[in-house]
Amino acid sequence: MAATDRGTDVDSVLGFGIMCVFFAVIAGLVALVVSTVATSGGGAGQQPVPVPVPAPPTSAKPPPPPCYPFQPAC
């Protein structure tokens, strides 16, 4: 009788240990994914809002045309 009870206890402890290892592996994978997403900037609200660059005014004078050799305007 004692041997049978002891065997059941070992099996239950072994099953509990396997379950703990399984949950530890799952938690490790979740932590790895979360850290990867956080470092890549994929998280919501972590990237700064880009500031729009104002366009140059349209009334600005265009640059003069390039001056080539043997051109009379130069």
Which pLDDT tens digit goes with each residue over 37-49? Answer: 877 655 455 566 7
Taking the mean position of all CA atoms in its chain, how far away is CA 64? 47
**What is d(CA 64, CA 66) in angstroms, rounded to the nearest whole number?**
6
Residue 30: give the domain boundaries.
17-43
**What is d(CA 19, CA 1) in angstroms, rounded to the nearest whole number?**
27
The reply to whether 64 falls in a domain is: no
Q: Token pair for residue 18?
A: 């396997």
The reply to whether 65 falls in a domain is: no
The reply to whether 37 falls in a domain is: yes
pLDDT recorded at residue 25: 95
pLDDT recorded at residue 40: 66
The reply to whether 60 falls in a domain is: no
**What is d(CA 37, CA 16) in angstroms, rounded to the nearest whole number?**
32
The reply to whether 55 falls in a domain is: no
Mean pLDDT for 25-53 is 77
pLDDT recorded at residue 14: 87
The reply to whether 24 falls in a domain is: yes
Q: Please state the domain count of the chain.
A: 1
- What is the share, in percent, of the chain residues with pLDDT greater than 70? 62
